[in-house]
Amino acid sequence: MKRTGALFFLLACLHGAAPLYAAEGTARDYLAEIGTKFGRGLENILTSPAEIPCTMAADMRETSALSGFFTGFGKGTVFMLRRILAGVTEVGTFVIPMERTIPRVCTEKL
């Protein structure tokens, strides 16, 4: 009687947990996500110098050309360092998949 009750309990638990397992990703999904994160990190590292001219152009469009040049250069340098740090972090922790933290460089229309 105890064995039958334990078997019934085990089957009930497995039946209740089946939807949870269905929502979980497969190994192929995991490998794709870590590959995407590794590539995104390399992209952030390699495209980080483009932050300076993109930010300068955006600031020069919003303010006067001379002040936008200098403020854009300063902000672009800070954004470049931030992008390098995010890229190095994504490459270093690529085995833990996650969503993009910062948008691609120069996404706004110049």
Q: How confident is the model at residue 31 (pLDDT cuts 50, 70, 90)?
A: confident
Closest by Cα among 105, 83, 109, 90 to 33: 90
Mean pLDDT of 24-37: 78
Q: What is the pTM of this model?
A: 0.70
pLDDT digits 0-9 by tens, 66-86: 888 999 999 999 999 999 999
Structure token pair of residue 84: 């390098």
Mean pLDDT confidence for 53-65: 90
CB atoms closer than 10 angstroms to residue 86: 18
The DSSP symbol for 104 reads P
- With cut-offs at 50, 70 and 90, classify the pLDDT of residue 22: low
